[in-house]
Amino acid sequence: MYDVAIVGVGIHPFGRFGAKSAIEMGAQAVRSALADAGASWPQVQFAFGGSNEVDNPDAVVSLLGLTGIPFMDVYNGCATAGTALELTADAIRYGKYELGVAVGMDKHLPGAFTADPEYYSAPSWYGAAGQFLTTKFFGIKINRYMHDHGISHQTLAKVVAKSLRNGVLNPNAFRRRPMDEQSILDARMLNYPLTQYMFCSPDEGAAAVVLCRADLAHRYTSTPIFLRASALRTRRYGAYEVHSSWAAVEEDKAPTVYASQAAYEIAGIGPEDVGVIQLQDTDAGAEIIHMAENGFCADGEQEKLLAEGATEIGGRLPVNTDGGLIANGEPIGASGLRQVHELVLQLRGQAGERQVPGNPRVGYAQLYGAPGTAAVSILTT
Amino acid sequence: MTQVAFAPDVFTWPAAEPRLLGGRCPACQAVMFPRKPSCPRCGNPDIAEHLLPRRGVLVAWTIQGFLPKAPYAGGETEETFRPFGVGLVQLGDEVRVEARLTEADPEKLTFGMELELVVVPFRTDADGTEIMIHAFAPASPEISDQAELAE
């Protein structure tokens, strides 16, 4: 097996862009990633493209050049971009190709996601009853977690205030205005205990990554970032997950825990080595829970860590330094590659005003979404 | 007034003491709701119908504070919508089910509180037909004591 290096990253800003198509945004992200790698599209040997709204992300080739390369389309819920990244990396790891692109793009309507419950193996009446809502699941999960582990409403507000402050420093973010904690707490309650500003918004955007066999990375960059591990796991029997009308009495751990443990093992790296962290913050509660599920703290320790500012850019555990999903929104296909884009900038020392001090050497990214799928990637200098 | 269940095969109805229609895997004894075509634990494609206990305890909950998009069929508008509770309710030691709660005030919901299944109005159609849905309501302590004695 070969090691895999990231030699270029590119992003189309996240937000709302009128009539501009997701395909155009995807092509722009790829151009930007290729420019970052000093590579050209005809050199790219293969690609994986991820999207929820776009049936065939491979349509980007009609804007980049019809070179005839294999282009594979993937969709895997909120873990779509992690899936595209892993498949691209694996094709290089196993020696099939030397240089490839992972790209993700999406263009969602405003408001909570909806779909036919039967596509998620849930009964159709589950939607009719008003339960087929990701926001409801996240409300239920964090409400119980707060009860069990002593997390306050104020701590949820701290997560949002921090992410929006980081968003102010990120020119590609969707939400770039800070908010005080009290305004976040006083906002409309969508799914108790989560208020309006504690949720991310589905929006629009694209991101792309150029991956290369590590021994060839010097052709493109003097600062390669190595993808040490990628792991994806689905829910096990006993986990209470998004879009499920029931759960077993005997509880099992969430899929994130298993993906995280697998990724640490593959990378030979532990949570104590990680210098910059990207977590799926579909809502403020998810960021809190995912801190523990990914091994960065014990359950309940978040209350103290947030009060101390540990998750701020200058803190001991910098989380979502680019504002995460809360400030960037979630174009599903692109979201995980946006995480990787930020980690690569941080590990290269190119994150500008958002730069984590002390030259972080290990970056960690986690995705989680319906119907209970998690993906973790670990990057190093 | 005609009353009709909002979906077939979700709960026994009409009934003085309605029960949810679950499934049980004869191979591994896993209990699920609703009955699935095959077992989520062992994959056995032969699942028996299984009536779930009426009473349970509240494991976790939220309040649905905004009008869900389609396929929600509650019939409200933004103006008429009233928040409703949704809970994960453990029925005996058999299974946890996610369902509506009759209580939508966070102050009145507590983890571990005892609940029982009821069937309540969901919406009224243009022809006057009342559409009914299952929900969990706080169980009265007296009934709870009797149930324990009965066991």
Q: Kindly state whether A68 is in contact with chain B, defined as any CB-CB distance less than 8 angstroms.
A: no
User: Residue A298 class from Cβ within 10 Å (0-12 exposed, 13-18 middle, 19+ buried)?
Assistant: exposed
If one counts the domains in chain A, the total is 1
Q: Report the SS3 class of residue B94.
A: coil
Percent of chain A with pLDDT over 90: 93
| Nearest of A137, A241, A151 to residue B87 by alpha carbon | A137
pLDDT class of A121 with cuts at 50, 70, 90: confident
Least confident of A115-129, A272-286, A312-326: A115-129
Average pLDDT, chain A: 96
A73: left (phi over 0), alpha (psi -120 to 50) or beta: beta
What is the ipTM score, two decimals? 0.92
- Residue A113 pLDDT: 73
Average confidence (pLDDT) over A22-31: 98
Determine which of A192, A195, A199, A241 to mutate to test the interface with B (most B C-beta atoms within 10 Å).
Answer: A192
CB distance A190–B93 less than 8 Å? no
Q: Is the pLDDT confidence value at A377 over 90?
A: yes
Domain ranges within chain B, ordered by starting residue? 54-150
CB distance A191–B62 less than 8 Å? yes
Long-range contacts of A167-170 (CB under 8 A, 24+ apart): A167/A322, A167/A323, A167/A326, A167/A327, A167/A328, A169/A313, A169/A323, A169/A352, A169/A353, A169/A354, A170/A322, A170/A323, A170/A327, A170/A328, A170/A354
pLDDT class of A243 with cuts at 50, 70, 90: confident
- Residue A370 pLDDT: 86
| Nearest of B99, B110, B120, B118 to residue B58 by alpha carbon | B110
> Count of alpha carbons within 13 Å of B78, Cβ hemisphere only?
0
Q: Which two tokens stand for residue A239?
A: 């986990």
Q: Is the pLDDT confidence value at A73 over 90?
A: yes
Domain contains A153? no
pLDDT tens digits, B84-103: 999 999 999 999 999 999 99
Q: Is the pLDDT confidence value at A359 over 80?
A: yes
Handedness of CA B67, B68, B69, B72 (dihedral sign): negative
Percent of chain A with pLDDT over 70: 100
CB A243 within 8 A of CB A285: no
Domain contains A353? yes
pLDDT tens digits, B52-67: 999 999 999 999 999 9
- Residue B96: which of A116, A123, A247 has the nearest Cβ? A247
Average confidence (pLDDT) over B2-9: 93
pLDDT tens digits, A160-178: 999 999 999 999 999 999 9
- Residue B140 pLDDT: 73
Q: Is the pLDDT confidence value at A5 over 90?
A: yes
- Residue B151 pLDDT: 44
B15 Cβ contact partners less than 8 Å away, ≥ 6 residues apart: none
Q: Report the SS3 class of residue A74.
A: strand
Residues of A in contact with B61 (CB under 8 A): 140, 143
Average confidence (pLDDT) over A70-88: 96
Handedness of CA A16, A19, A24, A26 (dihedral sign): positive
Q: Is the pLDDT confidence value at A112 over 50?
A: yes
Q: Is the pLDDT confidence value at B146 over 80?
A: no
pLDDT class of B142 with cuts at 50, 70, 90: low
Question: What is the domain-level CATH number for residue A11?
Answer: 3.40.47.10
CB distance A248–B111 less than 8 Å? no
CB distance A117–B71 less than 8 Å? yes
Residues 27-86 of B with CB under 8 A from A: 30, 32-34, 36, 40-41, 59-66, 68-74, 83-84, 86
| AA letter at B117 | L
Q: Is the pLDDT confidence value at A244 over 50?
A: yes
Structural domain that includes position A219: 4-110+199-380
By C-alpha distance, the chain B residue nearest A193 is: B62
- Residue A115 pLDDT: 75
Q: Is the pLDDT confidence value at B144 over 90?
A: no
Domain contains A122? no
- Residue B68: which of A116, A130, A188 has the nearest Cβ? A130
A258 Cβ contact partners less than 8 Å away, ≥ 6 residues apart: A233, A236, A374
pLDDT tens digits, B16-62: 899 999 999 999 999 999 999 999 999 999 999 999 999 999 999 99
Average confidence (pLDDT) over A372-378: 96
Question: What are the residues facing A362 on neighbouring strands?
Answer: A380
CB A288 within 8 A of CB A256: no
